Amino acid sequence: MTESRRLDRLTSMMRRRGIVLPSFEIYGGVAGLIDYGPVGARIKRKVIDAWIHHWTSGGDIVEIDSPTITPKSVLVASGHVGEFNDHMSECKNCKSVFRSDHLIEAVHPNPDTLDGKQLDSLIESNGVKCPNCNEKDWADARPMNLMFPTTIGAMSNGREAYMRPETAQGMFMLFPSLYRHFKQKLPFGAVQTGRGYRNEISPRQGMIRLREFNMAELEYFIDPQNPPSGDLSSNKSEICLIPDPEGEFAGDKQMTFEEACGLGIIRHSTVAWFMSRTYGFLTGIGIDPHKIRFRQHAGSEMAHYATDCWDCEILGEYGWIECVGIANRTCHDLESHESHSGTNLMRSWRQFETPKKISGEALSPVGSVIGPIFRQRAGEVSSALSNLDEIPPSFPFKLALNDGSEVEITNDMATISKVDRNLHGEWFTPHVIEPAFGIDRIIWHLLDHSFVEDGKDEEEYVTLRLNEAICPYDVSIMPLFDKDGMDVYARSIFDKLLAIRGIQIDLDSSGSIGKRYARADEIGIPWAVTIDHTTLQDGTVTIRRRDDQVQVRVDSDDLFKHVSSGTIESLF
RNA sequence: GCGCCUGUAGUGAAGGGGUUAUCACAAGAGGUUUCCAACCUCUUGUCCCGGGUUCAAAUCCCGGCGGGCGCACCA
């Protein structure tokens, strides 16, 4: 039983039992696209439900839902269009492919601002050699667009759009609505689960790198001057932390979140709080706590929008895989959307404890003089005058306009007036802390960590020790014999349990009872209820616990009660 | 995108120019007082797709698609 074969056995089982399968297989399949089968879709639903509940149960976070089709302008503002239109250069000699901007990093301060032709000419003029074979024979740079383009509108004059590469932009678009919903008080957050799309060059590793994938993202809006944090001391677990290798705390650490935050390893208290709650979520649905670590991004690998980022990595058959990214996105997105869209709604009001007294002098433009002199430009001159921070000591003076030109202002064009008022607060752009979860990757690791092969002797016996919160079926009903009235009795229990909202029940009457237990164990059904001869006499059934095969006999009424309340465990 | 390896029932495998493609497990029907993958009978179901070579291709060749690994990429 070598470890690499375990991966094969797990993926075979997932196909065979309808958990996760390649998509469109009868047409040859498509790399990077997967289906969740009948069993897998149940697991996925439960993981997402658990995730939504985990974050919204505090009352300060709400769920939203926005389109996957996103107009280009939104993604220009977010930076994705620029970031995603990287160019690739191919060495004609050895066929190696490199990012064009990386090739000329040494000779240009901002290579990612260049277009294809500029990149080619710089590569040519600087004689850049292929890092692989040292030749200088480059093909023209080709854009590598990692977003799926589409068009809104069926006709040729449709609007350019992309399938969203992340769900986060939906939360930013709704910031004004969220701000009103939360009575204009920070902090608050919004979550969204749904599909994201990235046209990966080469998807690999099963459900780890997909082209269409399930994300669950949370944007938590805070006042940067008053960053909130929950009670970190409630989590006593020692966590594996890998701080920024270029920073002062380089080197693996093992400590609580509270300690790491106190020492400044985690730089932001709100980030620390979300790391702790992320840890709580993952372990709560069945991720092995010993296979979780948090790795801080070095400055050089940080996403274009983030100033501090921790990846939560989970260990599985593919090694350590990033499953959650917790980033401090600061005010980047809201500010960028405000300037690109021209709105002024992406802000929050910060009330001063005591109003600030503003007294000073201000220039008031005299319209009747400015108008005739500057004509079309009069409006611009007036607003430039009003916005002057410092009043020049004497007239006339040169006033700079937005277009770069200067005009002369004489003393008849403006009057100086005294200003006295109280400032009760100020507008600012909230900062955003974003935990972003890769749901498919988390599901993979849940399956990986639950997949236990512990057959006696030579025989392999597979149990999927899934946490009850995410099991595909809650209970499997098994008539010991599929006759003599046991079949009818089983059916009646099946129907009655199925009627309970949110409960999924499996009914299995084929094959020997041992085989049925094995089938149920393999897809992680935690409880098996058996109807036998005694049931027909006194209405009691046996309940078998998946993880240790222990059975108890209870009245079927008690079964209904405990299934409804999710307290079967208390019967043991 | 590149290189190497690879693709046979639901799953895992054997076969490697020539009768009707083989096996195990799984699945379906029936039988068996059947509580931890028991047994018996019967049944269903497979050569990734497209070209080429050949009298004959699952087998050899080419291309595509998919998978694994390495390089590159992974906001």
The pLDDT score that the predictor gives to residue A428 is 94
The pLDDT score that the predictor gives to residue A2 is 42
From the Cβ of A200, is strand B under 7 Å away?
Answer: yes
Window A473-512, strand B contacts by Cβ < 7 Å: 480-482, 510-512
The pLDDT score that the predictor gives to residue A247 is 83
ipTM exceeding cut-off 0.95 for this assembly: no
Distance A27 CA to B53 C1' (A): 27
The SS3 call for residue A503 is coil
From the Cβ of A459, is strand B under 7 Å away?
Answer: yes
Residue A516: nearest nucleotide (C-alpha to C1') = B37
Domains of chain A: 40-68+164-332+432-438 (3.30.930.10), 73-150 (3.30.40.230), 350-428 (no CATH), 473-571 (3.40.50.800)
The pLDDT score that the predictor gives to residue A303 is 58
* CB contact at 8 A, A219 and A162: no
The pLDDT score that the predictor gives to residue A298 is 79
- Rounded to whole angstroms, the Cα distance separating A439 from A207 reads 10
From the Cβ of A148, is strand B under 7 Å away?
Answer: no
pLDDT along chain A (572 residues), means of 10: 72 94 91 94 96 96 95 90 70 66 67 66 74 69 78 81 94 95 95 93 87 96 92 93 88 94 92 96 96 86 69 93 93 92 91 80 69 72 68 74 73 70 87 95 96 76 95 96 90 94 93 94 96 93 95 95 95 93
Distance A60 CA to B27 C1' (A): 50
Residue A75: nearest nucleotide (C-alpha to C1') = B75
Nearest to A194 by CA among A71, A68, A359, A296: A68
Residue A31: nearest nucleotide (C-alpha to C1') = B66
Residue A132: nearest nucleotide (C-alpha to C1') = B71
Distance A301 CA to B69 C1' (A): 26
CA-CA-CA-CA torsion sign (A490, A496, A497, A499): positive
The pLDDT score that the predictor gives to residue A300 is 62
The SS3 call for residue A192 is strand
From the Cβ of A212, is strand B under 7 Å away?
Answer: no
Distance A562 CA to B64 C1' (A): 56
Kindly report which amino acid residue has its CA closest to the C1' atom of nucleotide B34: A512
From the Cβ of A303, is strand B under 7 Å away?
Answer: yes
Query: Which bases of chain B come closer than 7 Å to a protein CB?
Result: 1-3, 7, 10-13, 26-29, 34-39, 48-49, 64-75
Residue A200: nearest nucleotide (C-alpha to C1') = B74
Sequence-distant (≥ 6) Cβ neighbours of residue A75 within 8 angstroms: A81, A84, A147, A162, A164, A165, A169
Sequence-distant (≥ 6) Cβ neighbours of residue A42 within 8 angstroms: A472, A473, A504
The pLDDT score that the predictor gives to residue A131 is 66
The pLDDT score that the predictor gives to residue A205 is 87
Residue A546: nearest nucleotide (C-alpha to C1') = B36
